[in-house]
Amino acid sequence: MDAMPPSPSVRLHHAGTVLPDGVSRAPLSTRCGRVATSSAPGAYRIDLRDHLVFPGLINAHDHLQVNAVPPLAHGAPFANSYAWIEAFQPHFDDAQVVAALRHPKALRLWQGALKNLLAGTTCVAHHDPWHPALDADGFPVALVRDAGWSYALGWPQYGPPPQRSHAETSPEQPWMIHLAEGTDEVAQSELAALDAMGCLASNSVLVHGVGLRECDIERIIDVGAAVVWCPSSNLALLGATLDPQRLRRLHRAGCLALGTDSRLSGARDLLEEMRVALVQSSLTPRDVLALATTEAARILRLGVRGSLLPGAPADMVIVEDLGGDEAGCLLGLERSEIRAVVRDGVPRIADPDFAEWFDVAGVATVPVMLDGRPKLLARELADAALLAIEPGLELAIAAEGHDAGLRREAQR
């Protein structure tokens, strides 16, 4: 799969740019893949009247390689994630699971990344061992790099031991672990156990936290640690998620971000997760947007990513301005309703009327249908095997003559 082309200088006019402190109507310029304070001579100009430009979303928790694996059907909620993992073992023999896992891991990692990109997510915290495919040129999303991680206290064999991994992680980098993913005493005891091990610090990023007690919330806030909330996964597996009041306290303290936990247990994408977060909390649309942009960037030590401030990566989600609350405008959309997703100043998937931008950027495209809507997709993301395992994404009929061989491969 090919590398991304160099980013052209671009000047976006007449759009509302959603910034951390409000909406700017000033032109937005990009140079060399980053947001610039001024446009370069000869910059490509795009009139985005009646549009909003959001920063690319940040998914603070995903397991990229399992997004094509069918979920485990079950009745009653599990008491904790360890019970779910045990129940899942026979599911590995299911024919659909066997078929999904037969795909090379590199392909499954690309599919998990593409799933994110299609819904406006341009950066992901991947919570699993690093794989060479993640370093490939043109990988669909940026990744949180150099982070420390362990899997969970109850399954140390799935990843590096917590104490060793935490000790080896620079305090300037995040250290991630699944924690308190349950509603029983096992889950409720985990924060104290982690603290006793010396693994609770300001760079500790605790994923799920459903079983956190009041005293645990206080302790997390006191040390400056953070929780990644994955409400769809929590509800699907446990029948419960973090209490709204505890969520609000974590949010007010700057200790909360949002993640999807993959389609194996969670939402289809981060847009869907954001809508679930709204329903399951007293947070506003702007609060939820921050959890997937600026708050996630701060917690994951990503600098100005997710802000569209000068120097930030020119990762953008472009949508129609439907009026009213800007954040609510984005949160109300399905992925197919996004007008364009841009990475490092280069369009990756967009509506067909953005064809000239692709041309200026030197990006060859393939016509596709995304959930029934026509789009242009960067050709390097239109690998036949990749299209075949992403539901709702397929070559458009118009592409038949343009690339019949690609379509035949995808249908095998």
Please tell me the distance from the alpha carbon of residue 287 to that of residue 54, in angstroms, as a whole number.
Answer: 14
Q: Is the pLDDT of residue 1 over 60?
A: no
Per-residue pLDDT of 221-241, as tens digits, reads 999 999 999 999 999 999 999
Q: How far apart are the first and last CA of the chain?
A: 20
Which pLDDT tens digit goes with each residue over 352-394?
999 999 999 999 999 999 999 999 999 999 999 999 999 999 9
CATH number at residue 192: 3.20.20.140
Q: Within this chain, do residues 65 and 35 fall inside the same structural domain, yes or no?
A: no
Based on the domain organization, do 335 and 257 belong to the same domain? no
Could you please report the per-residue DSSP string of 130-177? --GGGGSTT-SSEE--S-EEEEETT-GGGSS-HHHHHHHS-TTS-EEE
* Partner residues linked to 182 by β-bridges: 80
Within-domain flag for 236 = yes
pLDDT at 117: 98
Same domain, 136 and 231: yes
DSSP 215-246: HHHHHHHHHT-EEEE-HHHHHHHHS----HHH
For residue 148, being part of any structural domain is answered with yes
386 inside domain: yes
| Residue from 3, 45, 7 nearest 27 by CA | 45
Exposed/middle/buried for 41, CB within 10 Å: 0-12, 13-18, 19+? exposed
Give 296-331 pLDDT, tens digit per residue.
999 999 999 999 999 999 999 999 999 999 999 999
pLDDT of residue 7: 79
CB 314, CB 273: distance < 8 Å: no
pLDDT tens, residue by residue, 130-163: 999 999 999 999 999 999 999 999 987 788 999 9
Domain end residue (candidates: 299, 321, 349): 299
Q: How far apart (Å, rounded) are the C-alpha atoms in residues 161 and 197?
A: 11
Per-residue pLDDT for 404 more than 90? no
Q: Which of 249, 279, 299 is the last residue of a domain?
A: 299
Q: Give the number of domains in the chain.
A: 2
Question: Structural domain of residue 69, as residue ranges?
Answer: 58-299
Residues 152 and 211 in one domain: yes
CATH number at residue 47: 2.30.40.10
Can you tell me whether residue 195 is helix, strand or coil? helix
| Domain endpoint, select from 299, 321, 353 | 299
Helix (H, G, I), strand (E, B) or coil at 63: coil
Same domain, 192 and 136: yes
Q: What is the pTM of this model?
A: 0.95
